[in-house]
A = this chain, B = another copy of it.
C-alpha cells in the first residue's frame, strides 16, 4: 500500500553498483553495510532486479554489476521489479462495506474509477525518472556533503 522502502534500498544498491561495481566486488554483505539493512533483504532485492535483467550477479564467487544502460532503468521499472502489484497496493480500501447499502455495494467500483486514473498518472511520473537522473543527482549531492 505504499512505495516500499525496498524500492529506496534498490535505488541505493543500484547507485552503489554503478559507482563502485567496477572497482570492487559488490556483495550482498557490502550492500547490507552500506544500506544498513539485512543481507537477506538485500539478496531478495538483488534477486528481483536480476530477474528483470537490470543487473547480473556472478554465481558462487559473488558480485553484482549493472546489465543495462542507465537511461533504460526507470523508477517504474524498479518498483515493478521489486513488487509487481505495487500500483494496486498503493490505495488502501476498506474491505467490508455493507452490501445492503447502495453506497456500500458500489463503492469499490466507484473508487476504482478514480484510483485507476491516479495509478496511471503515478506510473507516468515514475516512468519519467531514470537512474541516469538519479546518478546525476548523486554526483551533485556528493560534491557538497
Q: Contacts A94-B12, A133-B114 known; A145 to B5 CB distance under 8 Å? A: no
- Chain A 35-54, CB-CB to B under 8 Å as 1, else 0, gives 11100000000000000000
A73 close to chain B: CB less than 8 A: no
Residues of B contacting A111 in the complex (Cβ-Cβ under 8 angstroms): 8, 11
Asked if B5 and A93 sit within 8 Å, CB to CB, the answer is yes
Give the number of chain A interface residues (Cβ < 8 Å): 57
SS class, residues of chain A in contact with chain B:
helix
Asked if A102 and B134 sit within 8 Å, CB to CB, the answer is no
Can you offer 19 A-B residue contacts whose CB atoms are under 8 A?
A1-B2, A1-B3, A2-B91, A6-B92, A8-B111, A11-B107, A12-B103, A15-B107, A19-B102, A34-B97, A35-B94, A36-B94, A105-B142, A106-B145, A113-B141, A114-B133, A114-B134, A117-B129, A121-B124
Residues of A that sit less than 8 Å from B by CB? 1-9, 11-12, 15-16, 19, 33-37, 75, 89-98, 101-107, 109-111, 113-114, 117-118, 121-122, 124-126, 129, 133-134, 137-138, 141-142, 145
